[in-house]
Amino acid sequence: MRTPIELKYSHRLINHGPTTLVTAAAGGATNVMAVAWVMPLDFDPPRIVAVLSESYTRELIDASGELAINVPPRSMLEATYSVGTTSGRGRDKLALHGLGTSPAGVIGAPLVDGCVAWLECRVIPEPRMREGYDLYVADVVAAWVDDSVFQDGCYQFRGDETRTIHHMARGTFFVTGPHVDLK
């Protein structure tokens, strides 16, 4: 079940470098793109930084000032890769890839069903970073986890299909592996 978590723990949803699906909505249109280059930027205030190449989804992010970071599990690996190789301009890319969505809590961008964690973000306008490097900085304004996968402040994967994924290159991925606790 999708459960909210405190923002101060939100960096943990992507601290291990998973590949994500980024969704955006503006003017009645929605779209999704695959984003591997995204990471936490700060704990307090909770912030992320992402490299967003020119795309239809980026246009919707620029128009709305909002984006959602969705963390897909192994069971959505094929869909994630497929999303990353097609454009949604002029068609319903989410439906095209069989991705259902649910309303977010705070922002207008939808959250992708079946993911295991979600970050709702508001862009901090940084035109020079955007123009020079395709870099976007955003505040995390809400965060959610699938409480069957993320418990007690950490991913607790049960079964391979719920594990997060890490893109390497051109359709080659790694699945998040065993947990090691030094505490």
From residue 172, how far is each of 14, 19, 49, 80, 167 by CA, in Å? 19, 12, 24, 12, 6
| 15 or 102: CB nearest a second copy | 15
Cis amide bond preceding 45, omega within 30: yes
Stretch binding a second copy (CB under 8 A), from 24-32, 64-72, 114-122, 151-159: 151-159
Q: How far apart are CA 21 and CA 33, in angstroms?
A: 6
Stretch binding a second copy (CB under 8 A), from 16-24, 89-97, 103-111, 141-149: 16-24
**Residue 39 in the binding site for a second copy (CB under 8 A):** yes
What's the one-letter identity of residue 141? V
Q: Which residue has the tokens 């998040």?
A: 176
**Residue 41 in the binding site for a second copy (CB under 8 A):** yes
Residues that bind a second copy (CB under 8 A): 9, 11-12, 15-18, 36-42, 47, 49, 51, 74, 77-78, 81, 128-129, 133-135, 137, 153-155, 160, 163, 165-183
